[in-house]
Structures are given as C-alpha cells and as structure tokens.
Amino acid sequence: MISLADKAALEAELNVELRGVTRINESRKKMDGKIFLLRLGALNASITAYRGGRSAAGFSAITGHLAELSAGLEGLAGDLTVRIQKMILEISRIAVRQRKNVLLRRAKDLSADDVSRAALRRGREDLKRQELNYRDELERNRILADQASKMSLIGYAAAVQLKIQSVQISNNTSSFNNVALQLETSLRELKDILLGIVERLEGVGTSAVRNGKKKR
C-alpha cells in the first residue's frame, strides 16, 4: 500500500512543478508586452525611415527586417501561450489521476478482487498517458522558446546595427537615434526574458512527472 509519506511526496513534487510552470507563464506575459512594444517601435521606425528619404536607405532596410522579425516573434508567442496553458492543464490532470490511483490502490489492497485490480491497472495506464502528454508539451515549449530566443538575439544584433545607421543619416539624426534606441531597448529586454524562459523550461519536469513512481 502506498504510504501517506509517498502520497505527500507526490503532491509536493507536482506543486513544485506547477509553481515552476506558473512562473514561466508570468514571464511569457512579460514577453507579450515587450513584443507589442517592439511592433510599435518597428512601425514608428518605418515611418521615420520613410521621412528620411534616400539618406535613410540602410536604416529602412534594417527596419523592414525588424518588422518581419517582430511578426514572427508574435506568432511564436501565441503558440507558447497555448502550450503553456496546456502544461498547466496536464499537471492538474496528473494530480487528480494520482489521487484517484491512491484510492484505487487502497481498494485493491482491501478487497483484492478482479474488479479493483482492473480499475487500478486502467488508472495507472491513464496516468502514464497523461505524463507522456505533459512531457510532449514540455518539449514543444522548449523548442518554441528556443526558436523565439534565437530570433530575439538576431533582432538585437539588427537593432545595434540600426543605431550605427542612425548616426550616419545627415538630417534629423536625433529622431533616428531615438527610434533606434527604443528598438534596441525592447529587444534587449525581450532577449533577456526569453533566455529566462528557456532556462526555466529546462528546470521544470519533476521526477514524479518525468519518470513516474512504481506504486501509485
């Protein structure tokens, strides 16, 4: 029979897992805000580049690249939102299934009949499927976050180049500098947030979820 200590350990591990994923979700919300600012900044930069005419050709080219990149980041952020919510849902399902399996195990130990044994076997199979679903969602999120992180690094490098271009424009240099600085700041902060999400995703996945327990 599973002990109260084992039951408490399972619940504690899942609570740690849930807190970890919740923190990731909070970082994801911050990421959404930065991407929104990035898209506004890219739009403002495009308008500024258009007003600069031929002297702002290089600035305009980089701005176009950043606008495309911000759209791509927005798409990845949307996918991350959906999949992180699925991770939270799967953790809740695993917790419920584990509690049910504890009760089924007790029923089997008390009666030892075929019905209780079959119910426990189905419960364990359900738990394995739910754990597999969770691991799949976790891996998908890791891939998405890694892609977004790499895109933000590319964007940050482009924003640095944009600052260099801004000082080479002969007219209204301060406007171009301000726009370039805004984009560089947004991308630097976004880059840091995404690196944090990647690190947190590598850290989640308790033994109760990844490896399972022999007795449930």
pLDDT number for residue 100: 86
Domain membership flag for residue 216: no
121 inside domain: yes
* pLDDT of 158 strictly over 90: yes
Residue 156: inside a domain: yes
Give the pLDDT score at 113: 77
Q: How far apart are CA 2 and CA 103, in angstroms?
A: 10
Tokens of 1: 């029979």
- Which pLDDT does position 26 carry in this prediction? 92
List the structure tokens of 205.
């996945």
Q: What is the pLDDT of residue 212?
A: 47
Domain range for 93 is: 4-210
Residues 6+ apart with CB under 8 A from 192: none
Mean pLDDT of the 95-106 span? 84
Per-residue pLDDT at 214 exceeds 50: no
Residue 215 covered by a domain: no
**With 50 as the cut, is the pLDDT of residue 216 above it?**
no
Does residue 24 lie in a domain region? yes
Could you tell me if residue 150 is inside a domain?
yes
Number of domains in the chain: 1
Kindly state whether residue 136 falls inside one of the protein's structural domains: yes
6 pLDDT more than 70: no
Does residue 125 lie within any of the structural domains?
yes
